Amino acid sequence: MRKKSATPNRSFKVADQIQRDLTELIARELKDPRVGMVTLSGVEVTPDYAHAKVFFSVLQGNTQECGEGLNQAAGFLRAGLFKRLHIHTVPTLHFVYDRTTEHAADMNALIARAVSSRAKED
């Protein structure tokens, strides 16, 4: 009988903890003016924990500048994670802009347009 690996479950837990800790670190310790009100929407960790993609969205401000600020502060944030996480390898952080909210807004606009054009026809 083969034992099931607990690794996938563990990587989800590690990713979730990284997301929570980064949210706190960015809000409390990051002083970069390019990084304003940021929401971290998810973290994907590679199986060997060497790299983590951190998906973010911005409530206001320039998304490109914010991404540059976050990626420039990645080493500082990783050092902060070292102090908080109790794992052997803390991943290198890569911040990626999450376009989900933009896509949702575009879809809502398309649906509203379709509904209004149908209402005009009726």
Can you give the pTM of this predicted structure? Answer: 0.79
* Higher pLDDT among residues 36 and 52, named by residue: 52
10 is written with which tokens? Answer: 């563990």
Residue ranges of the domains in the chain?
7-121
Compute CA distances 46 → 32, 38, 90, whole Å. Answer: 27, 23, 11
In CATH terms, the superfamily for domain 7-121 is: K homology (KH) domain (3.30.300.20)
**Tokens found for residue 76:** 């500082």
Judged against a pLDDT cut of 70, whether residue 4 lies above it is answered with no
Per-residue model confidence as pLDDT tens digits over 11-49: 889 999 999 999 999 999 999 999 989 999 999 999 999
Joined together, the tokens standing for residue 88 give 């052997």
Q: What is the pLDDT of residues 84-114, one digit of tens each?
A: 988 888 999 999 999 887 778 888 888 988 8
Query: First-to-last CA distance in the chain?
Result: 64
Dump pLDDT digits (tens) for 58-79.
988 899 999 999 999 999 999 9
**Which pLDDT does position 2 carry in this prediction?**
46
